[in-house]
Structure 1
Amino acid sequence: MARLYHVPLSPFCRKVRLVLAEKKIDVELIEERYWEADPDFMRRNPAGKVPILKMNGRTMPDSMAICEYLEEKNPTPPLMPSSAEGRYEVRRLVAWFDDKFHQEVTTKLLYERVNKKLMKQGYPDSKNVKAGARAIKYHLDYMAWLLDHRRWLAGDAMSIADFAAAAHLSSLDYSSDVDWTRSDTVKDWYAKIKSRPAFRSILSDQVPGFPPSAHYNDLDF
């Protein structure tokens, strides 16, 4: 069986978990406190980051590289378009969420409110929290614009781009940091993707000391 070294609320780990589950690949989840820089962990990935997937005799870091590997090895169901233009758009949006959204929102909200406490790095910086709360509005509006023109974020079919976005939003939704009243379009998209069987293990995550929001695992939120 494959092994995934992960952190429950990490959006990068969640993206990989969603792809594995959608493709019905059994995986053993091993929680890794990467910030402790355990020597065994550092040997698996000298970059000191999760996720790390051990599969088919390989040890693989980097969430998007893992997702594309899984897509090439297990093409059914497809999570990347067949056209070069479609694949470009998926990769562009994955980079948007894993770079821009991550820096402007996830690090300002999830990392300040949860990760700092877990890592014993002090209290949240209120300026960062306020900046993240402002920035997420822009990103939700951008998602609403995309979904007004497309069935899914990158086009007519669900893709890794949807999983990247849902991974970030689900991590933030754990602590009620997403205003779902801002866009019915985005809320409907999230309800649709949240109801997929691939999401079940994510919705059962529990982080000691941080209970999830009341609606977190409610499919009809």
Structure 2
Amino acid sequence: MRILHHIPLSPFSRKVRLVLSEKRLPFELKVEKVWERRPDYLDLNPAGTVPMLVEENGLSIPDSGVICEYLEEAYPDTPLMGRTLAERVEVRRLTAWFDGKFYHEVTRNLLGEKYMKRLIGRGNPDATALRAGYANIRYHLDYIGWLAETRKWLAGPSLSLADFAAAAQLSSLDYIGDLDWTLNAPTKDWYARVKSRPCFRALLNDRVTGINPPDHYGDLDF
């Protein structure tokens, strides 16, 4: 059985979980406390980060971007990168947007300060970072809403890795109650479509010790 080393609320781990499930690839989850820097784990992944996928043949694949590209090449029956060159460019552009810009401007400032800091024992949340995260999220929700209104899926006519990259970030924030879904109706409608897919069920059943998600978190109709 392939194993995915992860942290439950890590948006990058969640992105890989969604891709694996959408491609109907069975896997086991193993929580990796990366701050402990276990020597056995560092032997597999010297960067000491999650997610990391270990295939049944022993191949170790680090980094969510590398993992998703690998899965697309190794298991192409359920394509998630677009069908034309232009579509693939747009999928990659938006995936980079959510993995990079959205994460650094929103998720790191909210989830990182409110959850990860406590998890690894690095003190209280920084108020400046929290204010920045709450301010930035409005702009990003508006952008997602614009994409959702002008396209069938975020990157174009087909469900893609871009949708899962965005949904992974939002689901992590939604779990800690940091999303106001009244801010943008098209974004909410798009997210409802994504989280209604079978691949999302395991994420909606996740529970983290010490944090209870809002009632709507697992509700497919909000």
Shorter-chain-normalised TM-score: which range? over 0.9
The aligned residue for residue 28 of structure 2 is 28
Q: Which residue identity is paired with 1:142?
A: Y
Query: 2 CA distance for matches of 1:37 and 1:110?
Result: 21
The aligned residue for residue 19 of structure 2 is 19
The secondary structure found in structure 2 opposite 1:18 is helix
Offset from partner CA, 1:83-132 (integer Å, 9 cap, x none)? 11111110111110111001000010001001111111000111111110
Aligned residues: 221
TM-score by length of 2: 0.97
Shift of 1:214: 1.6
The aligned residue for residue 207 of structure 2 is 206
The aligned residue for residue 100 of structure 1 is 101
The secondary structure found in structure 2 opposite 1:28 is strand
The aligned residue for residue 52 of structure 1 is 52
The secondary structure found in structure 2 opposite 1:216 is helix
Shift of 1:65: 1.2
Q: Which runs of 5+ in 1 are unaligned?
A: none
Query: 1 CA distance for matches of 2:111 and 2:58?
Result: 34
Query: 2 CA distance for matches of 1:79 and 1:148?
Result: 20
The aligned residue for residue 42 of structure 2 is 42
Q: Does 1:184 align with 2:185?
A: yes
Query: 1 CA distance for matches of 2:211 and 2:40?
Result: 28
Identity within the alignment, %:
57
The aligned residue for residue 2 of structure 1 is 2
Q: Which residue identity is paired with 2:198?
A: P
The aligned residue for residue 90 of structure 1 is 91
Q: Which residue identity is paired with 2:17?
A: R
The secondary structure found in structure 1 opposite 2:60 is strand
Query: 1 CA distance for matches of 2:110 and 2:150?
Result: 29
After the TM superposition, which parts of structure 1 deviate over 2 Å for at least 4 consecutive aligned residues?
none
